[in-house]
Each structure stands twice: as C-alpha cells, then as structure tokens.
A and B are shown apart, each in its own frame.
Chain A
C-alpha cells in the first residue's frame, strides 16, 4: 500500500479502473498529451493510448453528450471538466439528456463527469461550487470526497455506478500535504450514498462536505480545547442521494445542528438538510439549525476578498458556540 495525496488517489482510481475494465475511457480537454490542467492524467495516454485517453475540442456539451452516447453503447466514459465552472456549458446534456434517460426509457447511463471545483484563488470562473445546479435535477448522483482515501474509493464507486455521477474534487485538496495518507488497495471500492463520521461527539453535530470538512474539524478541535464540548463532524461524501439515516442519527445523538458548506447561502444544500431534519427529526432538536456558508456573491478573485467570501474556522467556531449556548 502506498501513501498518496488527494490527487494521486484520484489518479490511482482512474488508472486501476482503466486497467481492470476495458470499457472505461477518459475524455476531456488537454487530458492526453498535456496531461490535464492539474496533471492528473499525466502519463495516461502513453499507458493506454489515444483511443482511451481522448483530447477533445473545447466543447463541454460535446464532451458530455459524447460520453452519454458511448455509455449507451456499453462503455464507461469518465469525462473531465477542466474546471467544474465550465460544466455550465454542458448543463443541457447532463440535466436533460443523461439525467432523464433511465426514467424515460429504462436505459442506464453510466457516465462520470468529474473535475476540480471550489475556491482556491481562481476568481469568479474557476472557483465555483456547482453542486446545487445538479442536485436539483433528479437522476444525477453528486459526490464530493474530502479525504484522499475516499477520493480513490468513491471515484471507483462512481465509475462502477450505473447512473450519471457528478464527481466534485475540491482543487484546494489536490496537493494538500495534510491529506497525504495510505491509499486503499486495488480491490477496495467505496459506496455512494453513505456519510462518514470524521470526529465523534454528542454536544453538537456539524454536517458538512468537501474542503469544509477540514475547517470544521479544526473548529471542533478548538472547541474541545477551549470549551470542553465534543463536536461531531459528519462528512456527507455523497450529496445526492444524501445519507438521511446518518443525518438523523446525528441529530438524535447531538440535538444541535450546524451545517457548513462552501457553496453560496441561498438555496445551498443547508436549506435542504434543514428541511429534511424538520420533517424527520424535529422533536430531537434542542436548538434551531444554523448554517455557515459562503456569501451570496460571485467568488471574488482577490485573496482577501475570497477569504471574506468563504466560511472560515472562526465563523464556524462562533456559530457552534452560539448553538452550544442556546
């Protein structure tokens, strides 16, 4: 077993799936000779040839559409969006074509659309959280891992899933040294739709996902140190379908809920989680549900502006304390 970063974990997942299943192939912009904008697929074209690692035109709708067609013909395409912001150009193919095929005529569309999302200094068009555009559309699974091991396990699961899967990789995690860890071996495959408890506790639960898992963990440690309260951190991992059972279990165990996401506030996932808790576990709550999210603005470019836009550890600590004191 090898130690690797988040990015290396993703690379290993792609590599192993391509080795183990000849139906799996990659298509995207600059992924072959260039090796991908983040060099995630460096060496792949040399290893698998241009037939299975396809440099496409700058045409996200064409890429996703072609992936759908290839999937209908029995292949397992993995389409890369160079930055997930650009998935808007392929929105129609994903939401109107891929998402509706199985409901309309019973045919599975096993495609993965993956790429880097989230803010890491890229400004309004290279930093967005795109999950809610697709969670709103029945028929698309949405996955966002927070650890290197999960990145590998869940990407493999996404490739093997018979549904269209949007796989969101926070680019800030790609090469984060703190995330280097032992990667699962070749035979291990994750399971979509299951949340994970990253830190146990029963005084408050922070429900979160993606890069915010790490800021939430930092906040939880600080609260444990300074306040003596034990905060549970629940990492959703799969955003659609969501692990309602794990959420409700956490509500029953902790009675106080804080939801943290990097996506903007209005119609962000926190709203949906809150509604589900109200429907399924309201009587277990000892305090109103609160949320810490990005602001309702485009993602700004300047570093200080971006930091003000994003949820920060002190924001999480402050909100958590407010709930603990409620």
Chain B
C-alpha cells in the first residue's frame, strides 16, 4: 500500500519484503494442519476482504494522526502495526457474535460494520456519534460492539458475562475481547478468566502481547510466558503470530467453533509489537524503550506489507487489484473524516442536555 512518510513509522516508509520473513510468514500458514485447512478454504474474495480490513485500519489511524498534527484533536490511541490481531479475529466471527475491543482495537468497530464517520465523530465529541460527545470510547450493540472503558482489563469479566448469557440461552454465539500484556496484571483480567472458565462460557480472550505496557517494557514486570496462562485457567490455549492476519483468522475460527460446540472458553496469545507510542503524544518515548534492532525486526513484519506480498506472490493477486481496494477505502475514509469534521462546531451537544441520560 502507499506509505505516508509524514505519519508512518520509519520502518514502514520504505518497506520492502524480506525473503526470509516472507518465508516464515508462509511457513506459519501451514504449521498447524487445522489452521492450514481454514486458511486453504479462503477464497479470493475473503482474502481481499481481510486485506481491505487491514488497510482500512491503517488508514483510519493515519487520518487520526493527521488530525493530531492539524490540531483537530489533541491525541489518538492507535493500533498501527497491530491491525492483524483485530482484523483477523473479527473476520472470523458471525454477525450475531459480540466483541469488546480495547481502544487499540478500534478497527473492530468498522470491521463489525459501524459507520466510520461515527468512529471519527466520537473522537470529535459531536452528536454524530452514539456517545453524543460524552465519551470517545465507542461501540454499538447494534453491531455487536461493547465499548471499552479506560480501566484496562475491565472488559474481560464483562465480555465473559456476554458469553455467559449466550450459554444460558443456549445460543451458538461467541463473545470476544482483547487484553494487553500490561493489563493481564489486573485483577479484572484474572477474575474474568476465572469466571469464564468456571461457567464454560463461549468466550475468546486475546492476550495482545505488544511487548510494552504504556511506557514500560513488558519484560520489566512479567518474565513468565503468556502461553502458560490457558493451562493455568483450565482453558483451551492457542498461540498466534499477531502480525499474520491469516494465522489470527484461522485460530479464531477454530476457537469460535470450539465455543459454539460448548467446549468452553479459549485464550489466544497473539505475539505482536507496538510500533508507536501509547498514544500519539509519546512516540518519542516509545522509540527509546527498545533498541533500533527491535523496531527493525518488527517493522519488517508489518502485517500489511507481509500479507500484501503473500497475496501477490503466493496467490497471484494483481497489485492493481490491491491498489483498487486501497483507493476505494481511502476515498471512503476521506469522505467519512470530512463528514465528521463538518460536524465540529455545528453538531455539538447542547450543554442543556448535560444532565440527561444518567438514568435509563
């Protein structure tokens, strides 16, 4: 896809495929026979849809960065470089399933069909968003999205409760959430996993291990292996390459099948890396947390670049077909962003409504 030097991580600007990394990407797809079968069953349309999701997520973040630079908003919490964990998981779900994304998984919102303009509008605090200017964390049950709160980890018991409801009613639905490696330290995550395990709820929890908890390297406070967690909780465990959208997709499909069969919750550990800051305001500090080789390593594993290369080289997709998707998504995001911004100063919440809605 087109790169934007003003907004992208240095490693992404002149990104070129590395044969060894691409080989590892391809090897990963056949490493597990069950996942390989799921991936093998994907037709061209499904593959391109995954690509579209990744590109949409990236361009959404680039637009937010642009807004920060222009002073439209003061900061944004981005998922750039970690898109595959969100997009691959959501693509594996059915419309009746529900997801509880962290703010870094905002792509789950539009992956589930929420209008992009609403997601932008939430940041602007205008009445175009379901939140009506009351919060920037967004979701909408109409699309099966439960919005997060700032208290990381708290979504885990809540989403386990959604799954519990499905189990009680005997519905073949699945609830999915993501927690960062940092927030696995919270009591909420532990309690949520224990609840899900105790109730055998159809619940999938990702540990999105991006190696950093806000401004501290994850290894500074956790030297264990997240892959050991599922066994400790009596849950089915899976480990995925969080930068490989097909691996994430296939694992989620298999996890959801287990859940729908009533085989209890699944904990998926996704290995990835936060290329940027905790938010847009601390990218410099984030770059100082790890040596440049780490950024080079993960930069080479750009989930979009790797998948794009694989689509062209292994599946014979014409680069023009990918460019066409990118152009279409880019135009849609431009339009959504423009529409959202047009509400600024116009479709602002009326201060007279401030006290409304505390009570249902």
Contacts and interface: CB of A to CB of B under 8 A. Distances in A.
Nearest to B356: A103
Contacts of A107: 141
A65 B188 contact: yes
Sort chain B's interface into a size bin.
Answer: 35 or more
A238 interface: no
B160 A108 contact: no
A59 B165 contact: no
Contact of A96 (B151, B159, B194): B151
A62 B151 CA distance: 14
B154 A97 contact: yes
Contacts of B277: none
B10 interface: no
B255 interface: no
A62 B153 CA distance: 11
A321 B157 CA distance: 52
A65 B154 contact: yes
B198 A72 contact: no
B98 A73 contact: yes
Sort chain A's interface into a size bin.
Answer: 35 or more
Contacts of A65: 154, 156-158, 160-161, 188, 191-192, 195
Nearest to B138: A105
Interface string B138-160: 11110000110101001011111
B149 A59 contact: no
B178 to A, nearest CB: 15
Contacts of B135: 100, 104-105
B154 A93 contact: yes
A67 B276 CA distance: 35
A63 B196 CA distance: 10
A105 B157 CA distance: 19
A74 B165 contact: yes
B191 A104 contact: no
Contacts of A61: 154, 157, 187-188, 191
Interface string A99-114: 0101111111110000
Contacts of A96: 149, 151, 154
A66 B161 contact: yes
B168 A163 contact: no
A64 B134 CA distance: 23
A59 B141 contact: no
Contacts of B138: 105
Contacts of B198: 55-57
A75 interface: yes
A71 B135 CA distance: 21
Interface string B117-141: 0000000000000111011011111
A241 B359 CA distance: 10
Contacts of A71: 161
B195 A163 contact: no
Contacts of A109: 360
A52 B360 contact: no
Interface of A: 25, 51-52, 54-57, 59-75, 77, 89, 92-93, 96-97, 100, 102-110, 138-139, 141, 162-163, 241
15 contacts: A55-B198, A59-B195, A62-B157, A62-B195, A66-B192, A69-B158, A69-B159, A69-B162, A69-B163, A72-B141, A97-B149, A100-B135, A104-B137, A105-B147, A138-B358
Given A59-B191, A65-B154, 15 more contacts: A55-B198, A57-B195, A60-B191, A62-B160, A62-B192, A65-B156, A65-B157, A65-B161, A66-B195, A68-B158, A69-B162, A72-B162, A75-B168, A103-B358, A106-B132
Interface of B: 98, 130-132, 134-135, 137-141, 146-147, 149, 151, 154, 156-169, 175, 187-188, 190-192, 194-195, 198-199, 357-360
